Amino acid sequence: MADLPLAALLPRGSAVAADGRLSVGGCDVGELAERFGTPAYLVAEDDLRSRAREMVAALAGHPGGGEVVFASKAFPCTAVYRLFAEEGLGCDVASGGELFMALAAGFPPERIYLHGNAKSEAEIVAALAAAVGHIVVDSADDLDKLERLAERDQDVLLRVTPGVEADTHHAVATGHAGSKFGVRLSDAPAAIARIEASRHLRLRGLHMHIGSQLFDLEPYRAGLAALASLGSFPVVDAGGGLAATYLTDDPAPAPEVWVAGILAAVSELMGEGVRVVIEPGRALVAAGCVTVYRVETVKRNASTWVAVDGGMSDNLRPMLYDARYEAVIADRVHLTGGERCRVAGKHCESGDVIVAEAHLPDPRPGDLLVTPATGAYVHAMANNYNGVPRPPVVFCSDGSARAVVRRETYEDLLVRDA
C-alpha cells in the first residue's frame, strides 16, 4: 500500500493553514498551547464520535445483531466515557476504578462489561451492586467468587484463550496458549458446565481477545473457529485489537473491513443468528488525539536531540512496546523533509525517547512539537516519574476548546501524603 500523507495521521477535521499552522477541532494549536500550557493532550471530539458511528454502522446489518463496546482502558477519563455513552456504545471496564469512572460518567450499567484476570471480591461486589450487564469470567477462581457473591441472576460470558498467535508486540498478545488471560480451550467445557449448573449465573456466550494493534484478520478467524468447537451460544464477543495508524508507512485496516471479517467468520462458523460483540479501544481513540509539547533544547552530537517538556511520564508506549510515532512542528507542518532528529523527553533516563526518528524543519527551542495518534494507552498510562505533573486533556470541537481533565499541579503531588 502507498504511504499516507502526514495529514492522514492527524485527527479528522484538523487543518494546516497556508502559513503552516496546525489546528485541531477548529482550534489553533499555538493558541491552545498558550491557553492550556504544554504538554497537553488535544482531542478532536468529532473524530472520536465519527469513529464510534463508523463501528456501529459496520455492525448494523448483522442479522443476529451486535454491540460495539468501548474498551475503556485505552482512554479512561470521564469525558471520554460520557462521549461514548452518548454515542450508544457499550463499555468494557477492567477494574473497579474503571467501573467507578464509567458509572460516574453516567454509563448505563446494563451496557457495561466487567473484565479482569484478577478480579477482587470488592470489584465483583461493586459490579453486582451496580447491576452491570455482563461479567466476563476469566478463571475457575472468578467462578468461585461469583457463585458465592451473586444474589440474583447475572449474565456472564466465559473468556476462552483460543490458542492463536497474533502478530504483535508480546506484551499485547493475549490469545496464545499460556496467556494469563481466560481459560484454556481444554478447560472450557468444564467451566461451561459449571456455569450452566450454577444458581444465578446465566451463560450468554464466549469471549476472546487475541491481542492489540493487529492488522491481520486471520487470527480472529482461527480464534472464532476454536470457540465454535465448544458449542452454540447466543452471543460471541470477539474482543478488540484493531490496529491504529501511527506511521504514514503503516496504515491500519479500515474498521468496516475488520468488522466485516469478524462477521463473515462468525456467520460461517457459528451461524448468522449469533449476536456479535466487539470491543475496540485503540481504533476508537488513538487517532483523535495529539500531544503538544514545547521544545526546550536542541542538542547536536551523534544525533540531533530535540528535547521537549514531557516524555515518558505522558507517553510510556515507546518504552513499553517500542511504539513508534511521527512528529511535526505546529507552525511549520507544511514544510516537508527537514533534519533527522530524535525527540527526547525531560526524564532522567536514556530510554526516554518518544520519537526515535522524526524529520523536523529547523527545530528550535520554543517550538511547539506535536505527536499525532496519542489517544490510546497514553493518557491512560501517564505517571508522575520525576515528579512531573500529568498533562490536561483538552476537548476541541467547532473552534472551541475546554479542559475535561485539568493539568496536575505540584500540590497534587502531595495530596496522598499521610
Cα 105 to its chain centre, rounded Å, is 18
Annotation marks residue 348 as catalytic: yes
Distance CA 327, CA 342 (A): 10
Q: Is 241 in the site for ligand PLP (CB under 6 A)?
A: yes
Nearer to ligand PLP, 51 or 332 (CB): 51
Nearer to ligand PLP, 74 or 388 (CB): 74
Q: Is 239 in the site for ligand PLP (CB under 6 A)?
A: yes
Number of chain positions touching ligand PLP (CB under 6 A):
16
Q: Is 116 in the site for ligand PLP (CB under 6 A)?
A: no
Q: Is 255 in the site for ligand PLP (CB under 6 A)?
A: no
Report which of 291, 395, 280 is spatially closest to residue 46, judged by C-alpha positions. Answer: 395
Nearer to ligand PLP, 38 or 213 (CB): 213
Report which of 89, 53, 95 is spatially closest to residue 76, judged by C-alpha positions. Answer: 95
Residues 6+ apart with CB under 8 A from 415: none
Of positions 204, 282, 346, 390, contacts ligand PLP by CB under 6 A = 282
Catalytic residue, candidates 77, 289, 341, 348: 348
In whole angstroms, how far apart are CA 232 and each of 134, 283, 342, 381, 400? 18, 29, 52, 38, 50
Of positions 28, 47, 279, 367, contacts ligand PLP by CB under 6 A = 279
Distance CA 277, CA 319 (A): 32
Nearer to ligand PLP, 91 or 146 (CB): 91
Of positions 49, 62, 111, 115, contacts ligand PLP by CB under 6 A = 115
Distance CA 154, CA 200 (A): 6
Choices 273-281, 305-313, 317-325, 342-350; region in contact with ligand PLP by CB under 6 A = 273-281
Question: Nearest approach, Cβ of 280 to ligand PLP (angstroms)?
Answer: 4
Nearer to ligand PLP, 66 or 240 (CB): 240
Site for ligand PLP in 52-71 (CB under 6 A): 71
Question: Nearest approach, Cβ of 286 to ligand PLP (angstroms)?
Answer: 8
Contact of 291 with 275, CB cutoff 8 Å: no
Report which of 332, 354, 330, 351 is spatially closest to residue 341, judged by C-alpha positions. Answer: 354
- Cβ atoms within 10 A of the Cβ of 9, count? 24
DSSP string, 158-196: EEEE-----SS-GGGB-SSTT-SSSEEGGGHHHHHHHHH
Question: Nearest approach, Cβ of 160 to ligand PLP (angstroms)?
Answer: 12
Question: Nearest approach, Cβ of 69 to ligand PLP (angstroms)?
Answer: 8
Nearer to ligand PLP, 33 or 71 (CB): 71
Residue 146, SS3? helix
Of positions 45, 92, 123, 331, contacts ligand PLP by CB under 6 A = 92
Identify residue 326 by its one-letter amino acid code.
E
Question: Nearest approach, Cβ of 228 to ligand PLP (angstroms)?
Answer: 19
**What backbone torsions phi and psi does residue 78 show, to the nearest 5 degrees?**
-50, -45
Q: Is 240 in the site for ligand PLP (CB under 6 A)?
A: yes
Nearer to ligand PLP, 21 or 282 (CB): 282
Question: Nearest approach, Cβ of 200 to ligand PLP (angstroms)?
Answer: 23
Question: Nearest approach, Cβ of 408 to ligand PLP (angstroms)?
Answer: 25
Per-residue binder mask for ligand PLP (CB under 6 A), 199-228, x = binder: ----------x--x----------------
Question: Nearest approach, Cβ of 276 to ligand PLP (angstroms)?
Answer: 14
Of positions 66, 253, 281, 288, contacts ligand PLP by CB under 6 A = 281
The residue assigned the cell 454502522 is 57
In whole angstroms, how far apart are CA 161 and each of 206, 210, 214, 239, 380? 10, 8, 17, 11, 25
In whole angstroms, how far apart are CA 339 and each of 243, 306, 360, 363? 29, 11, 5, 8
Active site residues: 348
**Residues found near ligand PLP in the complex (CB under 6 A):** 71, 73-74, 92, 115, 209, 212, 239-242, 279-283
